[in-house]
């Protein structure tokens, strides 16, 4: 079906010239976009809504479905999908916005909980690092003390061997006599 109303509107928009529907059809035939056979076939030409309705107006008014449809009472009217059928468009829009705000609120709460967990983890890491540093200091002190004691023990061991060797030598000297 050729929509002459739509083509006439496109011509008006692009050229600023308002043409009658018959002239639009003539121009389409002249340009070869429509054959004369198609132009003479009334079933293929859309000339407006007057052929189908009492008037030729293309309105955008929205009638409430509840005015001409009798539905039995539905269970679960608290269901958001069913509620949307019976709400005006503004309320549906507000309902969607409220739903989105609820989701944002939940997301913000989740982020706050996540931040609190992160803070707790960082506190635990700081505490572990402090304990680790204290252990490192204690270990360093023990190593230094052990190193100092090791030198003292080495000195005492040498003195012991000197005394032991001298006493064995003296004992052999006195027991065997002089050489």
Q: What is the pLDDT of residues 69-120, one digit of tens each?
A: 555 555 555 555 555 555 667 777 888 889 899 999 999 999 999 999 999 9
Residue 122 lies in a domain: no
Number of structural domains in the chain: 1
Residue 130 lies in a domain: no
pLDDT category of residue 134 using cuts at 50, 70 and 90? very high
- Which residue in 50, 6, 51 sits closest to 28, CA to CA? 6
Which residue has tokens 């065997």?
176
Is the overall model pTM greater than 0.75, yes or no? Answer: no
Look up the domain containing 53 and give its range.
2-61
More reliable by pLDDT, 46 or 37? 37
Q: Tell me, what's the pLDDT at 147?
A: 85
Residue 162 lies in a domain: no
Measured on CA atoms in the order 30, 31, 32, 33, is the torsion positive or negative?
negative
Residue 6 lies in a domain: yes
Residue 92 lies in a domain: no
Residue 56 lies in a domain: yes
Q: What is the DSSP letter of 79?
A: S
CB atoms under 10 Å from CB of 85, counted, come to 13
Report the DSSP pairing between strands 45-46 and 2-3: parallel
More reliable by pLDDT, 13 or 141? 141
């Amino acid at each position: 079906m050729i929509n002459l109303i739509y083509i006439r509107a496109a011509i008006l928009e692009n050229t600023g010239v308002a043409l009658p529907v018959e002239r639009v059809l003539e121009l389409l035939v002249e340009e070869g976009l429509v054959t004369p056979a198609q132009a003479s076939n009334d079933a293929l030409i859309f000339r407006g809504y007057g052929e189908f309705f009492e008037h030729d107006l293309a309105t955008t008014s929205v009638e409430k479905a509840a005015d001409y449809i009798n539905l039995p009472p539905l269970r679960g009217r608290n269901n958001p999908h069913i509620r949307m059928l019976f709400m005006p468009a503004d309320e549906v829009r507000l309902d969607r916005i409220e739903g989105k705000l609820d989701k944002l609120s939940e997301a913000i709460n989740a982020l706050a909980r996540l931040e609190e967990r992160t803070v707790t983890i960082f506190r635990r890491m700081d505490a572990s690092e402090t304990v680790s540093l204290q252990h490192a200091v204690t270990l360093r002190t023990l190593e230094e003390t052990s190193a100092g004691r090791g030198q003292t023990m080495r000195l005492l061991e040498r003195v012991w061997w000197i005394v032991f060797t001298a006493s064995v030598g003296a004992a052999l000297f006195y027991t065997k006599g002089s050489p």
